[in-house]
Structure 1
Amino acid sequence: MKSVYLPKGLLEYKIRKLFKEQASKQFSSEDVIRILNLENTPDQVENCLQRFVKHGFLSTGKPGKYVITRQERSKKKPKYFEGTVDMTRTGSAYILCDALPFDVHIPRKYMANALDGDTVRFEHFYSGKSRSKHDGKIIEVIKRANSQFMGVVNKYKSYATVFVDRAKNEFEIFIDLKNAKDVKTRDKVVVEITEWRGEQKSIPWGKIVQSFGQDESSDMEMNAILVNNGFKIEFPGEVISEAAVLTGEILGEEVAKRRDFRDVFTITIDPFNARDFDDALSLKHLDNGHLEIGVHIADVTHFVKPGTALDKEAFERSTSVYLVDRVCPMLPEKLSNELCSLRPNEDKYCFSAVFEFDQKFNIQSEWFGKTIIHSDRRFTYEEVQEILDQGHGEFYEQLELLNRVAKKMREEKMQNGAIAFESEEVEFELDSDGSIIGVHPKIRKDAHMLVEDFMLLANKKVAWYISKRPGALVPFVYRVHDLPDPDKLTDFAEFAREMGVSIFLDTPKQIAASFNQLNELAQQNEALKILEPMALRTMAKAVYSTENIGHYGLSFSHYAHFTSPIRRYADVLVHRILQDNLGGEKRLDKAKLEAQCLHISSQERKATEAERASVKYKQVEFIFGHIGEEFDGYISGFIERGFFVILSESRVEGLVGFDSLDEDYSLDPSKLKARGRHSGIIRKMGDQVRVRIVDADLDRRLVDMELVE
């Protein structure tokens, strides 16, 4: 049997299982590697065993060997676990559970009354019969992810319902007629679930809290996406009142506490439509021939204090949500677009990471602390890119120098095993009324990566500073990314092989190198782009945690989020912890901090779902205006009744039904291709095709296409 390399979570699970199953035996790291047939290094296994000793699961036995403790040996396997519901459109779900190295499948009949994102207690049992080896049953809902939803009213004789259509599932909330007097059938409303009625099958009942009438506009759909993913459209009055009294006045006594960068060349580089500028770069030539580059971040914590309504609301939201045509901010606009935003030609408070580079662009020193800056110029990415491409323009020398430093850091990151590609994004062109006039893939150029590389540097170095400071380890908020799932990797490698791409899985570095090679191949062959999102799905999701396991995708051993406190609450926590530990030591309760990490990670997942739903809706809205027109695309997948096509320019995906073709097709068991029964024509994943738009259903977010021969 071929040996395997296990990510940290699965490695710990397998070792724990080995010691529990053979509780009377002692094992060394070499024994564990041999028995479990691992590719992991002895040091990695040894570190895992040492962690188990530290946590009381193992104790040392004979020299170099470990044995399960008596206390652990006497423990019974927990009957129930806790986790987060990740719904599917079929009504079943998967439970994401930190205590287990795999997701647990919950069949629809065992869902109880759980909804997407809920925290639940569940029973896990091994199943050899279902499509998932790990099935389970939800016992109870511990915490609701969302209590308010937006939907459409239907009124009947004795009751009313609100039909809620979410990205992953749809359901109805029942309303007593006395609570639905002022609404009509087909009105759009916000409803709050107040109780669940029924013993055998609980049904949600609620009350209407806001009505929008029969508004079918795109604006209302965007609001529905926000509400149904658990984000408030407006801020509570108390939060707005707190923000209103805050002032951006620059006070002498405050300036005296800060390092003054107002005379140093400083710029911001952001999207053309950005209003919250939370980072700036400064550049200064030192007398010793070195460069001083500052990464200056809006000092949100100067205004948002712990325990205030502002802080509580920011934590509850945890992130800004960026839909196609709007932003649902984490902080009120008074803060995000005014007080904290690093607008040009204004003095602003910052929290900065400042680095000294030698002539070869190697870092010689670093400094972290509170500062005051004055931005000389607000650039857009497009403006900077044009200046770099032309080789002249406003502040060309400074921009070109920053770009060279960034490129060197980027090259070093890639040489260390970072993975180059990310999920492909699309960019929408909107007119003055907000109507979509164009959709195309977002192209990342040097201007984007220049900023990103300096942000990565600051994030990495802040995490390093906290981890390596003298004394006991300070509880901290790390941004962590575990190794890919071995089973998902194996399946993906087989799929990629069918398309002529080899993926090597023997070591983490080989995996990263294979993914980077795929990225290069996809730049040359558009058909291979369908593999990139599939490759990303093999990976663990990056999350926030007080346990640092490193960041696999970036190939960083230490990483945090420091650079976007206007839009991420994790960065707010990082700023506070860093400031408290620059001149002294302050330790937060680790368990409480970990609970905050879990909430922030959950909110981030919900924001991602909302953003994807927004893009999908706007893509269908865009193509609705092009029914009857023809476009080029490529086959992206097969189902029993047809194949999906992604349009090359807009990335709109639609279905070509087999029943619309000239002959019947038989689908290959691999679902990678289909063959015409009479002609023998084979249509396969990645094939270039030309299609005509037949229909676009905004309610269902579906597009129908037909093949143009």
Structure 2
Amino acid sequence: MSKKKIPQKNTKRKKKTELVTAVINFFNNNIDKSYNYKQIAADLGIKTQPEKLLLMSILDDLATDAFIIVTDRGKFKSNTRGLFLEGHFERRSNGKNFFVPEDEGENIFVAERNSKHAMNGDKVRIQMLARRKGRDPEGEVIEILERKQTRFVGTLSVQKHFAFLEMDSKILANDIFIPSDKLKDGKSGDKALVEIIEWPEKAKNPIGEVVDILGVSGTNDAEMHAILAEFGLPYKYPEKVEEEANKISDVITEEEIAKREDFRQITTFTIDPRDAKDFDDALSIRKLENGNWEVGVHIADVTHYVEEGSIIDKEGEERATSVYLVDRTIPMLPERLSNGLCSLRPNEEKLCYSAIFEMNDEAKVKKSRIVRTVINSDRRFTYEEAQDIIETGEGDFKEEVLTLDKLAKKLRAKRFEDGAIAFDRQEVRFEIDEKGKPVSVYFKEQKDSNKLIEEFMLLANRTVAEFVGRVPKSKKAKTFVYRVHDLPNPDKMQNLSEFIRRFGYKIKTGGSNTTVSKSINKLLDDVQNKPEENLISTIAIRAMAKAVYTTSNIGHYGLAFDYYTHFTSPIRRYPDMMVHRLLTKYIDGGRSVNKEHCEQECKHCSDMEQLASNAERASIKYKQVEFMSDKIGREFKAIISGLTEWGIYAEIEENKCGGLIPMRELDDDFYEFDEKNYRLKGRRTRREFRLGEEIQIKVVRANLERKQLDFTLVD
């Protein structure tokens, strides 16, 4: 007689990997209390004896790994002691977001599901999720402390009842949803600035509203405005501020002239770029009876016209700097001031703040004074016109120009003897047609006429800084705005040394400041006119600290000055206006200003300077891509300028336009990135690609929205 079969329950045992994941998730979701293994087993639905034994083994392993801690006999708790951190959030469109701790510790991965919709640059508090051996650290955002950015630029895609902003920068993983009543009459294809107003916790897309329509995508004005808006920079001037500027009188009274030194009868001229309109510095020169030279560095007296705390001043303070894009200048001050009242135009009486020097033929300063003046410029030179006089010895005011050039060269030689560094890099510039399209590329080079102006501006800036900062040891220096440049980072200098060794160059990374700086200068001389010049100059600059504004003077390493400030460009830099006001206050016997407030102003100015620089680079990159967009399929010689695990960055030799050869284009082998040796190496062929190597490329794509060129390698 056959036995009756009894139906079997589904007793499929959980795999160990599944159970480990389940236990980790349990503790990540229950961080406040302690649990024994029975409670955990019940929550996870573990009933069989083998699974219970496996659970006990996993708990022991996790305790050994410090993922969990034993709080009492047989009880376990998530290990979160001291694992709450504050720092900044870095968002990536691929979901690989990171938390950057304030103490500059290692970056911590934050999955999109654990981001709490934090935005790029937000200051956040995270809780560390327990870390297992062999795994990268991971965290979860528990609080957004400070929003960095809520406005984004992109192109509108308008549907019947709603729209999306498709962003230029791929910072967000998802486009911004815009209800139809928040569109501000925007149409599909419009470039727009959109502000995120809400991001519901369970919503995939943030919700936004249009702040401004910038123009039709692809048009020059729209794209330039988009670059400014992307960096949070203003792209138009407030009408109220313009109106206030228009009320300022242009009359210089006899009473005002009487308060100043009169330089109107002394030979004076400006030397500026050919397209400049804001002439904020002029030079005067005359021979004194004792045989010495009197050289005046005359700077537009902007603070005479701009009252501290006024609507114009507040706007200038907020902007902190003029912004120079490829095809336009976005001024810090209204045009009536920057191009009119304050601009030192020829044959017009102008008010100045001046540093006056008595110098001998060897450019040694015998005396100096800082005074307010009135001038009348005799001539406006372009750099090219002044250079022509220097090279030919002929032209208007040739004796004055040649004398200033001779003195400037001696000042420069002394500066380098003292340890200054010569970073004279080529700058990419474009010839632009009436529609803003780049028609050709040229390179801006520092010639003698540029260096003439530079040396006298440096001398004035240094003299002003010394006037306030250099005091007897028994006295305390008053609060002032300094332009400082710290010593190079030793690790970066070592990396630079290792990098250039591959090209056959050497530098000294130790010894006195002068020894190191002279070694850097020798390197920069050695690479001149070599294919790797631009690359090595760029890497060398990155090894340097960034120059910043601060009230704490540490000197300027790159210029080899113990005291340095910015005094000579108040039309386009707010720190210079701050310096003018402090000078006036201290010359008149005023007390020292509040250091903390001044330091905050300095930091704001440094931050805005960096933003303006980023926007300028973005506009150059856009024009480079636009310039190359009609050269698809053409081949060029290029230099490898960067190597990563996703491809090769290359720079075309003839025009410095850079692009990427994606790894997928290197299809003859599997290439691995060797970061230590700056190379890509093929597994099978052993073929190598190294930084600085000359290659032949073909242009295959030009993506204007992403400001990106794609190349392919030509064998």
Normalised by the length of structure 1, the TM-score is 0.81
Letter in 2 for 1:368: I
Q: In the alignment, which residue of structure 2 is the partner of 1:331?
A: 333
Residue 198 of structure 1 deviates from its aligned partner by 3.2
Question: Which of 165, 174, 182 is residue 177 of structure 2 equivalent to?
Answer: 174
Q: In the alignment, which residue of structure 2 is the partner of 1:560?
A: 565
* SS, match of residue 579 in structure 2: helix
Cα pair distance change 1:111/1:311, threshold 3 Å: farther
Question: Which of 509, 517, 521 is residue 512 of structure 1 equivalent to?
Answer: 517
Q: Distance in 1 between matches of 2:150 and 2:666?
A: 46
Q: Mean alpha-carbon deviation: is it higher for 624-633 or for 327-336? A: 624-633
Cα pair distance change 1:121/1:483, threshold 3 Å: farther
Q: In the alignment, which residue of structure 2 is the partner of 1:480?
A: 484
Question: Which of 352, 357, 364 is residue 350 of structure 1 equivalent to?
Answer: 352
Q: Mean alpha-carbon deviation: is it higher for 386-395 or for 618-627? A: 386-395
Q: Note the 1:479-498 alignment, pairs <5 A.
A: 479-498=483-502
* SS, match of residue 232 in structure 2: coil
Q: Distance in 1 between matches of 2:506 and 2:405?
A: 34
Q: In 2, are the aligned partners of 1:146 and 1:229 still within 8 Å (CA)?
A: no
Letter in 1 for 2:712: E
Q: Distance in 1 between matches of 2:295 and 2:630?
A: 48
Q: In the alignment, which residue of structure 1 is the partner of 2:698?
A: 692
Cα pair distance change 1:221/1:169, threshold 3 Å: farther
Question: Which of 264, 270, 273 is residue 271 of structure 1 equivalent to?
Answer: 273
Residue 353 of structure 1 deviates from its aligned partner by 0.8
Residue 346 of structure 1 deviates from its aligned partner by 0.7
Cα pair distance change 1:81/1:656, threshold 3 Å: closer
Cα pair distance change 1:443/1:171, threshold 3 Å: farther
Letter in 2 for 1:474: K
Q: In 1, are the aligned partners of 2:659 and 2:709 still within 8 Å (CA)?
A: yes
Cα pair distance change 1:233/1:79, threshold 3 Å: same
Question: Which of 588, 611, 616 is residue 583 of structure 1 equivalent to?
Answer: 588
Cα pair distance change 1:539/1:169, threshold 3 Å: farther
Q: Mean alpha-carbon deviation: is it higher for 393-402 or for 373-382? A: 393-402
Letter in 2 for 1:419: I
Q: Note the 1:601-612 alignment, pairs <5 A.
A: 601-612=606-617
Q: Distance in 2 between matches of 1:700 and 1:628?
A: 20
Q: In 1, are the aligned partners of 2:437 and 2:626 still within 8 Å (CA)?
A: no
Q: In the alignment, which residue of structure 1 is the partner of 2:707?
A: 701
Cα pair distance change 1:121/1:656, threshold 3 Å: closer
Normalised by the length of structure 2, the TM-score is 0.80
Q: Distance in 2 between matches of 1:253 and 1:274?
A: 31
Q: In 1, are the aligned partners of 2:191 and 2:226 still within 8 Å (CA)?
A: no
* SS, match of residue 619 in structure 1: helix
Q: In the alignment, which residue of structure 2 is the partner of 1:260?
A: 262
| Residue 530 in structure 1 maps to residue 535 in structure 2 | yes
Cα pair distance change 1:179/1:370, threshold 3 Å: same
Q: In 2, are the aligned partners of 1:164 and 1:170 still within 8 Å (CA)?
A: no
Q: In the alignment, which residue of structure 2 is the partner of 1:152?
A: 155
Q: In 2, are the aligned partners of 1:673 and 1:684 still within 8 Å (CA)?
A: yes
Q: Mean alpha-carbon deviation: is it higher for 260-269 or for 415-424? A: 415-424
Q: In the alignment, which residue of structure 1 is the partner of 2:66?
A: none
Q: In 1, are the aligned partners of 2:109 and 2:137 still within 8 Å (CA)?
A: no
Q: Distance in 2 between matches of 1:414 and 1:130?
A: 54
Q: Note the 1:377-392 alignment, pairs <5 A.
A: 377-392=379-394
| Residue 192 in structure 1 maps to residue 198 in structure 2 | no
Cα pair distance change 1:404/1:578, threshold 3 Å: same
* SS, match of residue 369 in structure 2: strand
Q: Mean alpha-carbon deviation: is it higher for 682-691 or for 497-506? A: 682-691
Residue 660 of structure 1 deviates from its aligned partner by 4.7
Residue 613 of structure 1 deviates from its aligned partner by 0.4
Cα pair distance change 1:238/1:556, threshold 3 Å: same
Letter in 2 for 1:691: I
Q: In 1, are the aligned partners of 2:182 and 2:209 still within 8 Å (CA)?
A: yes
Cα pair distance change 1:95/1:465, threshold 3 Å: farther
Count of residue pairs brought into register by the alignment: 627
Q: Distance in 2 between matches of 1:78 and 1:462?
A: 49
Cα pair distance change 1:365/1:629, threshold 3 Å: same
Q: Distance in 2 between matches of 1:505 and 1:129?
A: 40
Q: Distance in 2 between matches of 1:698 and 1:376?
A: 45
Q: In the alignment, which residue of structure 2 is the partner of 1:22?
A: none
For the pair shown, which has the larger CA radius of gyration, 1 or 2?
2
Residue 241 of structure 1 deviates from its aligned partner by 1.4
Q: In 1, are the aligned partners of 2:362 and 2:410 still within 8 Å (CA)?
A: no
Residue 157 of structure 1 deviates from its aligned partner by 6.7
Q: Distance in 1 between matches of 2:609 and 2:187?
A: 35
Residue 482 of structure 1 deviates from its aligned partner by 1.3
Q: In 1, are the aligned partners of 2:672 and 2:683 still within 8 Å (CA)?
A: no
Deviations 1:203-260 (A, max 9, x none): 7543223225644212211100001111112222221111111122111111111111
Q: Distance in 1 between matches of 2:377 and 2:164?
A: 54
Q: In 2, are the aligned partners of 1:165 and 1:171 still within 8 Å (CA)?
A: no
Cα pair distance change 1:439/1:483, threshold 3 Å: same
Residue 623 of structure 1 deviates from its aligned partner by 0.9
Q: In 2, are the aligned partners of 1:166 and 1:225 still within 8 Å (CA)?
A: no
Q: Distance in 2 between matches of 1:394 and 1:129?
A: 77
Cα pair distance change 1:96/1:278, threshold 3 Å: farther
Q: Mean alpha-carbon deviation: is it higher for 513-522 or for 202-211? A: 202-211
Q: In 2, are the aligned partners of 1:620 and 1:652 still within 8 Å (CA)?
A: yes
Residue 502 of structure 1 deviates from its aligned partner by 1.9
Q: Mean alpha-carbon deviation: is it higher for 669-678 or for 685-694? A: 669-678
Q: In the alignment, which residue of structure 2 is the partner of 1:619?
A: 624
* SS, match of residue 588 in structure 2: coil
Cα pair distance change 1:169/1:323, threshold 3 Å: farther
Q: Distance in 1 between matches of 2:184 and 2:640?
A: 50
Letter in 2 for 1:485: N
Q: Distance in 2 between matches of 1:260 and 1:525?
A: 50
Residue 529 of structure 1 deviates from its aligned partner by 2.8
Q: In 1, are the aligned partners of 2:155 and 2:165 still within 8 Å (CA)?
A: yes
Q: Distance in 2 between matches of 1:94 and 1:366?
A: 52
Q: Distance in 1 between matches of 2:372 and 2:204?
A: 54
**Residue ranges of structure 2 left out of the alignment (5+ in a row):** 1-81
Letter in 2 for 1:627: I
Q: Distance in 2 between matches of 1:135 and 1:403?
A: 60
Residue 199 of structure 1 deviates from its aligned partner by 4.7
Q: CA RMSD in A?
A: 3.4
Q: In 2, are the aligned partners of 1:196 and 1:202 still within 8 Å (CA)?
A: no
What is the percentage of aligned positions where both structures have the same residue?
Answer: 41
Higher relative contact order (CA 8 A, sep 6+): 1
**Residue ranges of structure 1 left out of the alignment (5+ in a row):** 1-76
Cα pair distance change 1:107/1:416, threshold 3 Å: farther
Cα pair distance change 1:708/1:80, threshold 3 Å: closer
Q: In the alignment, which residue of structure 1 is the partner of 2:306?
A: 304
Deviations 1:274-300 (A, max 9, x none): 111111111111111111111111111
Residue 376 of structure 1 deviates from its aligned partner by 0.7
Q: In the alignment, which residue of structure 2 is the partner of 1:370?
A: 372
* SS, match of residue 526 in structure 1: coil
Deviations 1:574-600 (A, max 9, x none): 000011111312322111111111111
Q: Distance in 1 between matches of 2:402 and 2:390?
A: 7
Q: In the alignment, which residue of structure 1 is the partner of 2:239?
A: 237
Residue 628 of structure 1 deviates from its aligned partner by 2.9
Cα pair distance change 1:579/1:136, threshold 3 Å: farther
Residue 410 of structure 1 deviates from its aligned partner by 1.1
Q: In 2, are the aligned partners of 1:440 and 1:651 still within 8 Å (CA)?
A: no
Q: Distance in 2 between matches of 1:380 and 1:169?
A: 46
Residue 315 of structure 1 deviates from its aligned partner by 0.6
Residue 362 of structure 1 deviates from its aligned partner by 0.5
* SS, match of residue 523 in structure 1: coil
Q: Distance in 2 between matches of 1:378 and 1:96?
A: 52
Q: Distance in 2 between matches of 1:411 and 1:284?
A: 23
Q: In 1, are the aligned partners of 2:672 and 2:682 still within 8 Å (CA)?
A: no
Letter in 2 for 1:481: H
